Every structure is written in C-alpha cells, then in structure tokens.
Amino acid sequence: MSKGFCLLAQNNGKTDYLRQAYALALSLHKYNKNQNISLITNDTVPKEWQEPFDKIIPIPWSDSAENSEWKIENRWKVYHASPYEETIVLEADMLITHDITHWWKELSKRDLFFVSNVRTYRDELVTSRYYRKTFDSNNLPNLYSALHYFKKGDVAKEFYTLLEIIVNNWQLFYTEYAKENYQKWCSIDLCAAIASKILDNEKDITDPDSFVTFTHMKPHVQRWKNIPENWTTVIGKYYRNDGNLILGNYLQTRVLHYVEDAFLTDEIIEKLKNESKVLS
Amino acid sequence: MSKGVVLFAQNNHTIDYVKQAVFCAKKIKKHLNLPVAIATDNVSWLLDNYPYYKNYIDHVIELEWKECKQKRIFHDGTMSNRDLEWRNHERGTIYDITPFDETIVMDTDFIVGNDIFLNAFLTDQDFLIHRHITDLNLERPDEHRFNKISDRSVDMYWATVFYFKKTERTKIFFDLVKHIKENWLYYRLVYQIPEVTYRNDFSFSIAIHLMNGHQRTSWPHPMPGKLWFTTDVDVLVKMEEERYLFLLDKKDWKGHYNVSSIENVNIHIMNKFSLDRAISEVLTNE
C-alpha cells in the first residue's frame, strides 16, 4: 500500500504557511528515509521550496476558505486529495525531530487515528483543559487533528464525509453537540470530535496511551504558573550544530507543534536545508 | 566496600552547623549504625566545644576556610529573621573527600528517625536522590513551587540527602556540579533562576538534567522513603526521642501557628534557630 504525508497549506495575511510546510517537509526528510510528502495548496510554491515534495496538489473543487483567515474550511478535503492509500496528515506549523517511520506499522492497524494526548516541551503529559473547555462540557472526544492518520476505505470515507457536512454547517452542529461553552469559530478539532461522537467511534480512532503524539506549544498547557502570551518570548531555543533542537533547556524528541510562526527563523530553515537528506 | 555518612558543617557567625552535625551523627549512629564523617572548616570549634564528638563521629575532614560573600535570609518562624552568610559551596567536592566507597550525604539539619536509608546500600544504583518532598504543613500553599527549579526550568532534585557509590558516572556528575558552581552566573541565566544565591539543589538538578542529555529519564532513582520537611517559618518546639513537635505557619494568619507532631520519620528541619534550641536541650547531658 502506498504511504505518505500530506500537508495542507494556505497562506493568509499574517502567516506564510507554505514556508512552514517547506520546513516541515525538510525536517521529515532529515529524520525519515524514503518518505513521500505531498503538499496540498492553491498558492504558488516558489521553485526552491518545491524540491522536498513528491507532489504539489491543488485543493479539490473550489477554495472553500477563500474569505477565511484561518483556512479551516478545506481541511476535510485532505482525504480526497491525498494520493496515498495510507496518509499521515500534519499541520504545517510542525517540525519533526526524530525518526517516526515505525509509526506506520502501528497506525496501519487502524482505519483512522487521531492523537488524544499531547505533551509539553518538558515532555510532561498535558493536563490543562484551558483550550478544551468545550470538549469537556459537552463530553466530546479529546481529539487533536494536527496529527492524524487515515487509511482509504469505507470507515475513513464515512468519517470525512460527515466531517465535510459538519464543517460546512458548524454553527448548527455546535448548537446541537457543543452548546456548552459555545465556541464562536469553526475548529477542525471540534468538528472532528463531533463527527466521532455521532459515529460513536472514539475507541476505534484514538488511544490516550499511544506513543503517536506530539509536543503542543500553546502557552497555557506548559504547566507554567506565569503564562505569557507567546511562548517564544520566554524560553530559549537552540538549534544545535549536531542538529538537535533544544527548547527551554529540553531536547525535543517528539513531533513539535510550535504554533507560533516567530519560532521558525530563517536560520532554522537554512540548517534544515543543509541537513536534509533529500537535498544532499 | 566501605559505607558511611558524610555531613558538611560550615558555621557562619550565628548558626552552629557543627553542633547540628554532632546531633545528626548521634541520630545516625542510633538508627543506621554507620560510620560518620564530618567535613568542616571549623575543626577547632568541634574539638573545643564538643569534646565528646568521637562518640558519634568517626572521621573529621578539614575543609579550607574560604571567605563567603553569599547571604540569605534565615527565618525563625514568621515574625523573626536574620540575613546571614550561607556557606554551602563544598558539596560538589564530596566524591574526592569521602572516606567511603558508598556514601550517604546529609544536610546537618536533616534528622534521621528510622533505618530506611540502609536500603540504599542494597540497590545496584550508583546515585539516589529525592525528586519529591513531603511538607508537614498541609496548609502551605502551592507545593508545586518546589517541583521545578523555576517556573520554566528543569525538575527539582533535593541535595538535602543523597546516596552515591564511586563510579565513573558519579565522578563525572560531581565534576559537573563543581563546574556549574564555578560558572553559576552563566547557568543561573540559562536555567532562568531568579535567585542570585548559589544553591546545591539547583546545581544538582541542572547536573542531573545535563547528564540525562537534556531529557527526563529514570535516572537517578529516589532515595528510600519520604523526604519530610518543615520550612524556616515553621518552629520546632520540642524533640522527645523520635517525636518532633512543631508550630506550623498558619495560612493567611501571619504569626499564628497550628500545632503538629510527627515521629519516626526522616525530616529536614529548615528553621535553624529552633533546631539549635531543641538540640541544646538534647545535648545538655553529653
């Protein structure tokens, strides 16, 4: 079966997601041999950023997020756009810090998999529910779509078809399934959680004890007492010459969801570019 | 393999750590029956004031007296405090100066109340140190403040009491502690420690973090048993054999206390003044 990573990236007025996707692809190649990576985008990809990708795929049908800042509305299309039978979907603002090729063996046991526990930069389990109040109040599965997997087939197709409907009618579904601590914007995590609740498949599509997880850098989950607006302003980052990334004195050994674009300096990209096997 | 306990005792102008060490050694003899060494820069004070010390202390290791400019505030309950020298810079030398192959090192204000530490010698580990502590004062807010060396920094380990055996790894560890002490201003900044003063707990915690390759691992394992503690805003009122009676700082009521007692435990008593008063009573008949 063909396997590969899919990254969906659409620039908005503030953030160059293509640049983030380029860095993510470089980091994937750096630590993982012979991996397929596809970029799904309608933006023009600079020639020098195309190299780490096997395919650059236009967003299917029309751009549903044309007038949106957060560009959530196209996320459900990944299932339809992916050229692989098995796909790991990663959000663009992530970096790979180690070899994750063994994940394929684990994930292949399932039709769908979403991460449901995440870690701090100190590799502690995130226990804060600061960003998850809606999930808790409405008894919804604690899914993180930033890193998920699907195998093409009836199960995943049913899920994504429902996800499409929920994303396109999110206010209606929120009112029905997430009315407590009502969230006034569409998020793919919440939509996926609602889809899972409707399909009653939480136990099939996630495992809180799974080693498939990532480090989430949102400030409120870091077990800090004094919480800054941006984590990048309060802890040091060192991209060492040996290729290891240190955040706040901790070696990063998981997939890093850095969230804040300020983290991704040109220096980091340049180092990734030099170290990436695909370009050597 | 020789086994024993080493106590560091370096007096300042007010606090008699040597006296604490003599009392601490007395408790060690009673509960652990191990040889005890005192490492001190106040040997003549020991000989002159505690001539009976040989009943409890087997080795005297003389440390070079060095001027100390580091100060910290020592409380005696919530209503009294003094700003005094804090002479705590020699802990990293333990690997070189211990007369034992396997050593337990203790603060002199750490009182042994049972024999649980003997289990440290039964493990195959080369270094044991407490990661977590247990506050006798259940009202004390936010125990979490002791979980890391600062809000955004690394896990806290307690150099109050630890065990090590001489291995290549522990030699590197204590050399690293010395290096951190010598470059404290640098490490303080890198590890985001607001306090200026050098503290063994911090240098040990940083050294453990570095030895683990900037990651959390299962090394080192904890010492056997719990590390109980009271802070210096609590007051030790009385010691009756292995039972200690405390006045514990009452939350939101400065100058008010709750009475509490505990017995047969190993406990770190940080109020040096009240500990000194209690020890004086116990040592009266020596």
The SS3 call for residue B125 is coil
Whether the per-residue pLDDT at A280 is higher than 50: the answer is: no
User: Which of A120, A123, A215, A225 has the highest number of chain B CBs within 10 A, making it the mutation to test binding with B?
Assistant: A225
pLDDT of A279: 47
* d(C-alpha A144, C-alpha A208), whole Å: 11
Of all residues in chain A, the one with the smallest CA distance to B145 is A225
Considering Cα of B97, then B99, then B105, then B107, what sign does the dihedral take? negative
Q: What pLDDT shows up at residue A12? A: 81
Q: What is the pLDDT of residue B144?
A: 47
Contacts of A222 in chain B (CB under 8 A): 152
ipTM: 0.86
* Tokens encoding B215: 């990651």
pLDDT of residue A199: 98
**CA distance linking residue B80 with residue A268, whole number of Å:** 53
Q: Token pair for residue B161?
A: 């009491």
Asked if A256 and A214 touch (Cβ cutoff 8 Å), the reply is yes
B110-111 and B134-135 as β-strands: parallel, antiparallel, unpaired?
A: unpaired
Amino acid found at A267: E
Tell me the pLDDT of chain B averaged across its residues. 93
Is B144 in Cβ contact with A249 (below 8 Å)?
Answer: no
Peptide bond into A46 cis (omega under 30): no
Q: Which of B144, B190, B214 sits opposite A250 (nearest CB)?
A: B214
Is A248 in contact with B190 (Cβ distance < 8 A)?
A: no
Tell me the pLDDT tens digit for each residue of B228-286.
999 999 999 999 999 999 999 998 888 899 999 999 999 999 999 999 999 999 998 88
Dump the DSSP string for A20-56.
HHHHHHHHHHHHSTT--EEEE-SSPPPHHHHTT-SEE
Q: In this complex, which of A122, A123, A251 lies closest to B213 when CB atoms are compared?
A: A251
Stretches in chain B below the pLDDT threshold 70: 141-145
Residues of A in contact with B154 (CB under 8 A): 122, 249-250
Among the partner residues B153, B190, B215, nearest to A251 by beta-carbon distance? B215
**What residues in chain B have their Cβ under 8 A from chain A's Cβ atoms?**
144-145, 151-155, 190-192, 209, 213-216
> Strands of B3-9's sheet, edge to edge?
B59-62, B36-40, B3-9, B102-106, B158-165, B127-130
Please report the number of interchain residue pairs, chain A to chain B, with beta-carbon separation below 8 angstroms.
Answer: 34
Q: Which residue of B has its CA nearest to A224?
A: B151
CB contact under 8 A, A226 and B151: yes
Please classify residue A199 by burial: count the beta carbons closer than 10 Å to its beta carbon, then call 0-12 exposed, 13-18 middle and 19+ buried: middle
User: What residues contact residue A148 under an 8 Å CB cut-off, 6+ apart?
Assistant: A88, A89, A112, A113, A114, A115, A192
Q: Considering chain A, what percentage of its residues have pLDDT values greater than 70?
A: 95
